[in-house]
Structure 1
Amino acid sequence: MTRVKICGLTNEDDLETAVAAGADALGVICDVSVDTPREVAVERARELVDAAPPFVTTVLVTMPSGPERAIELADEIEPDAIQYHGSIRLGDLAYLRANVDAKLLLAVDADDAVRAETYDDVVDGLLVDTPAADGGGGTGETHDWDQTRVATADLESPLILAGGLTPDNVADAVRTVEPFAVDVASGVEAEGGVKDPDAVRSFVDRAKNARRTAEP
């Protein structure tokens, strides 16, 4: 069954909605260099991480200035995993992983998904997202799922699919790419930074049942 991460959470009500819907992971965005209504301050990120119940993974989504800043954020917020966006050298990535008490996920641009193999032995998971001009994700736009499936077919690390996913298209995305997990933020929002409970529930249900409904 495909796992689901609801990302860009900014308040406890939306967090509780995601948990009740069956989300496996909760994403909190902090310290990014792009303009997004989903970014929260460090203290708020820590509060949201602390509010998550046991057995649901908390993910700090960040685009820090470098590995040292990512380590500082991990120490302050204490997430279960860090999702790193932005360019980083392989050695710095290994250094980061060795110095945080959290799983390490790396975001890779869909246009360059073949490079994901470079980091396969260093990270705990690889997220493929539609690239934006500013280097971040969160574009709300899909990419070529067939191309992503082929480019990541030989990865050992779990693949997380992101980019323009919504309740309407997530089942098709899951059946096409067969990822370990899917990641959604704007695709389940009523407005920037505020989730739509019905959309969250529908997204989780369709993502988790996509392969089951495809069976004869």
Structure 2
Amino acid sequence: MRPCPRVQVAGVHDVDEALMLARLGVDSVGLPLRLAVHAPDVTEAQAARIVAALPPDVLAVCITYATDPAEIDALCRALGCGAVQLHAPMAPAALAALRARRPDLYVIKSVIVPPDPAPARREALLAEARALAAHCDALLTDSLDPASGATGATGRTHDWSVSALLARACPCPLLLAGGLGPDNVAAAIRAVRPAGVDAHTGLEDARGRKDPALVAAFAARARAALDAAGA
């Protein structure tokens, strides 16, 4: 099984952009498809071409709100992805069914942190994360945008103490996402001590394309902070 990605970047528009991420030190490239809120950046056929062009040491991650194990399996096979990041609510039993169906697939399950969670909500998130962790390879904490209902690509940070709690208490690695960019990734890693980090909108220019300077700074600062944290 592949180790947890240390630096993941989600959302690319073409092969050239994906290869630029790989050159600048990104471990995994996320391709959002079949989404609940946002429109995908590429079609599934375009995503498959991006996956095929990535170097073998860069993990292609299908990011999706699909929940049916058979649909997830078929989508990942069509794309050629070796990993999937699941963002919709999903019962542990469904994750177990996916694991039984595709034991080779690297499965990342999101845990969504709402704004200012009360102590009872923190405990509920911890219980949810522990139940999910038994059936996936990594967890990913991300932020909720209450206005749109989006649970990814929100550009919003969340209470990092919740992610730190999950990182300490859960048996599988944790990726930290939500409003990360070059300016705050080192502080986020110091606060949470995750296995890796994920960024999307915080690395984009005014056109919505990934900015090479932002990507390079993010990857370098993330790796330095992860090394310092012993991740």
TM-score by length of 2: 0.86
Letter in 1 for 2:173: P
Alignment of 1:54-65 (within 5 A): 54-65=56-67
Partner of 1:12: 15
Contact 1:28/1:48 (<8 A) preserved: no
Alignment of 1:125-164 (within 5 A): 125-133=138-146, 134-164=149-179
Could you tell me how far apart the structure 1 residues matched to 2:100 and 2:228 are? 41
Kindly tell me: are residues 82 and 214 of structure 1, through their superposed partners in 2, closer, same or farther at Cα, counting changes over 3 Å? closer
| Sequence identity (%) | 33
Question: Relative contact order (C-alpha < 8 Å, sep 6+): which is higher?
Answer: 1
Distance in structure 2 (CA, Å) of the matches to 1:59 and 1:151: 22
- Residue range with higher mean Cα deviation, 70-79 or 189-198: 189-198
Structure 2: 5+ residue runs without aligned partners?
A: 115-121
CA distance in 2, matches of 1:193, 1:13: 15
> Could you tell me which of 203, 213, 216 is aligned with 2:218?
203
The residue identity in structure 2 corresponding to 1:141 is R
Instruction: Provide closer, same or farther for how the CA distance between residues 92 and 15 of structure 1 changes in structure 2, counting only shifts above 3 A.
Output: same
In the aligned structure 2, how far is the partner of 1:180 from the partner of 1:31?
27
* C-alpha displacement of 1:67: 2.4
Q: Is the 8 A contact 2:158 2:178 kept in 1?
A: yes
Q: Distance in 1 between matches of 2:172 and 2:15?
A: 31
Aligned-partner SS, 2:175: strand
Kindly indicate whether residue 37 of structure 2 is the aligned counterpart of residue 22 of structure 1: no
Q: CA offsets per residue over residues 3-49 of structure 1, 9 Å max, x none?
A: 1001111212211211111111111111112124x532111111111
4+ residue runs of structure 1 moved beyond 6 angstroms? none
Residue 152 of structure 1: how far off its partner (Å): 3.3
- The question of whether the paired residues in 2 share the 8 Å contact of 1:6 and 1:23 is answered with yes
**Matched letter for residue 58 of structure 1:** A
- Distance, in Å, in 2 between the alignment partners of 1:65 and 1:165 is 26
* 8 Å Cα contact 1:116-1:152 kept in structure 2: no
Alpha-carbon offset, residue 169 of structure 1: 0.2
How many Å apart are 1:138 and its aligned residue? Answer: 1.2
Write the distance in 1 (CA, Å) between the matches of 2:210 and 2:138: 25
Aligned mates of 2:54, 2:80 — CA distance in 1? 12
Higher mean alpha-carbon deviation, 154-163 vs 97-106, is at 97-106
One-letter code aligned to 1:197: P
Residue 190 of structure 1: SS of its match in structure 2?
Answer: coil
Counterpart mapping for 1:3-152 below 5 A? 3-36=6-39, 38-100=40-102, 101-111=104-114, 113-114=125-126, 115-133=128-146, 134-152=149-167
The one-letter code sitting in structure 2 at the alignment partner of 1:207 is: A
Cα distance, 1:135 vs structure 2: 4.7
Q: Give the alignment's Cα RMSD to 1 decimal.
A: 2.1
